[in-house]
């Protein structure tokens, strides 16, 4: 694959990278990331954190800086939201992943976050990637909604070549002609990543489908395809959410999804030699 030096991998027997986040080694240990689309207020975030932790999640997600299509839509609580995430971490022990949209916010976001998320819209923001390559924190790099595998892995190469080996890829769906789903979740990309690259790769079926009813089946399909984890949007009252209302699932639905996903990952590790449960 053109351009890849440090990200290249996948040959039989070659080592896979694991990314350490607290006690977790992502790429070896299957990872469950869950939380609201946006941090809306303290009660919503702390309640979600408590419930997803109880259901078995390892990492709390939640946006404080939100990339919204319309400037009139909720843009996120910014630093106040980050402080709420910090509180959720202190309360539950969950590690935090949250999006960084602008390198001017790096110091602030890094103070509260264990993993820095690069959103789909910024996958090819090479200035941001260069800054994050020197951030000293793991990066969750979402696939651009129009990005090919080659473009995505080369975006990861920016992080690796700049000095940051701790990169986790995240498939979140791509734009196709289909409109029933928000995006088309490209699960064939999971084994394709594994054939070409040594980095861990997780799947976000929430943005990948845009429909709460499709999140559980596509989570299981992602595990079967070899994903190293899933990232799920969870909200105590999805119908009242300030962003991505149609795709967030309740904490109760997440608890049953978590059981099924963790069971399947463990089963595949025992029987099919998956190395990620
Ligand atoms: C998100 O995960 O909060 C998000 C905005 O997703 P994406 O960048 O994949 O659209
Ligand atoms: Mn969202």
CA distance 249 to 207: 12
Band (pLDDT 50/70/90 cuts) for residue 276 is low
Query: How many Cα neighbours within 13 Å face the side chain of 255?
Result: 11
Check if 143 has its Cβ closer than 6 Å to any atom of ligand 1.
no
Distance CA 171, CA 250 (A): 22
Instruction: Measure the CA dihedral 76/236/261/222, to 10°.
Output: -40
- pLDDT above 80 (res 32): yes
Q: Which atom of ligand 1 is nearest to the CA of 63?
A: 3
Q: For residue 168, what are the β-bridge partners?
A: 140
Judged against a pLDDT cut of 70, whether residue 277 lies above it is answered with no
Helix/strand/coil for 120: helix
User: Does the structure show a pLDDT above 70 at 119?
Assistant: yes
pLDDT band at 274 (very low <50, low <70, confident <90, very high): confident
Q: Quick one: pLDDT band at residue 94, thresholds 50, 70, 90?
A: very high
Question: What are 201-231's pLDDT values in tens digits?
Answer: 999 999 999 999 999 999 999 999 999 999 9
Residue 63 CB less than 6 A away from ligand 1: yes
Which 3 state secondary structure label does DSSP give 196? helix
Cα–ligand 1 centroid distance for 270 (angstroms): 32
Q: What does the pLDDT average to over 145-150?
A: 98
Residue 67 in contact with ligand 1 by CB distance below 6 A: yes
Q: Which pLDDT score is estimated for 10?
A: 77
Nearest CA to ligand 1 atom 4: 119
Pocket test residue of 97, 119, 175 for ligand 1, highest count of atoms within 8 A of CB? 119
């Amino acid at each position: 694959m053109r351009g890849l030096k440090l990200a290249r991998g996948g040959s039989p027997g070659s080592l896979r990278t694991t990314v350490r986040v607290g006690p977790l080694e992502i790429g070896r240990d299957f990872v469950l990331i869950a939380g609201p689309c946006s941090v809306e207020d303290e009660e919503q975030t702390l309640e979600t954190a408590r419930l997803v932790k109880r259901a078995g999640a390892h990492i709390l997600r939640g946006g404080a800086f939100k990339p919204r299509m319309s400037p009139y839509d909720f843009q996120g609580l910014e630093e106040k939201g980050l402080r709420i995430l910090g509180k959720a971490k202190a309360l539950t022990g969950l590690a935090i992943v949250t999006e960084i949209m602008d390198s001017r916010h790096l110091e602030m976001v890094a103070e509260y976050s264990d993993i820095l998320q690069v959103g789909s819209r910024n996958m090819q923001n090479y200035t941001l990637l260069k800054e994050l390559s020197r951030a000293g924190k793991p990066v969750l790099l979402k696939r651009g909604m129009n990005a090919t595998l080659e473009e995505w892995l080369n975006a990861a190469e920016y992080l690796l070549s700049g000095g940051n080996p701790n990169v986790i890829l995240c498939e979140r769906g791509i734009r196709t002609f289909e409109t029933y789903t928000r995006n088309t979740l490209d699960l064939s990309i999971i084994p394709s990543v594994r054939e070409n690259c040594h980095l861990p790769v997780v799947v976000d079926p929430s943005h990948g489908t845009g429909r709460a009813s499709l999140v559980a089946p596509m989570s299981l399909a992602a595990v079967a395809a070899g994903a190293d984890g899933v990232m799920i949007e969870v909200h105590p009252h999805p119908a009242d959410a300030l962003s991505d209302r149609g795709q967030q699932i309740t904490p109760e639905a997440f608890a049953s999804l978590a059981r099924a996903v963790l069971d399947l990952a463990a089963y595949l590790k025992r029987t099919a030699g998956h190395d990620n449960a």
